[in-house]
Amino acid sequence: MPQIHVTLPKGAWSKEEKAVVVEKLTTAMAEAGKVTGVAERAGVPENNMVPFVNVFIEETSEGGYAIGGQVLG
């Protein structure tokens, strides 16, 4: 089962925005599985990996996020 982990600063994205990210990442991963043949090799019905893609969104606490060595939040 493919897993995608996304880390965001706490409260940076609304529930609706996260839903869009989940949908887009799920679709992209399923398409990649189809194009590369991974879905077929795994025996995924009709090469549709969408039901098997897990997307986890983790929100970091204050000070738990950094870019280029600079702690944010």
Distance from C-alpha of 24 to C-alpha of 72, rounded to nearest angstrom: 26
Q: Mind listing the domains of the chain with CATH numbers?
A: 3-72 (3.30.429.10)
Phi-psi region at 26: left, alpha or beta (left = phi > 0; alpha = psi -120 to 50): alpha
What does the pLDDT read at residue 62? 83
CA 40 to chain CA centroid, Å, is 21
> Digits of tens for pLDDT over the chain (73 positions)?
899 999 988 898 999 999 999 999 999 999 999 999 999 999 999 999 999 999 999 999 888 888 899 987 6
* Cα radius of gyration (the chain): 15
Beta bridge partners of 8: 59
Does the reported pTM lie above 0.75?
yes
- DSSP letter for 4, please: E
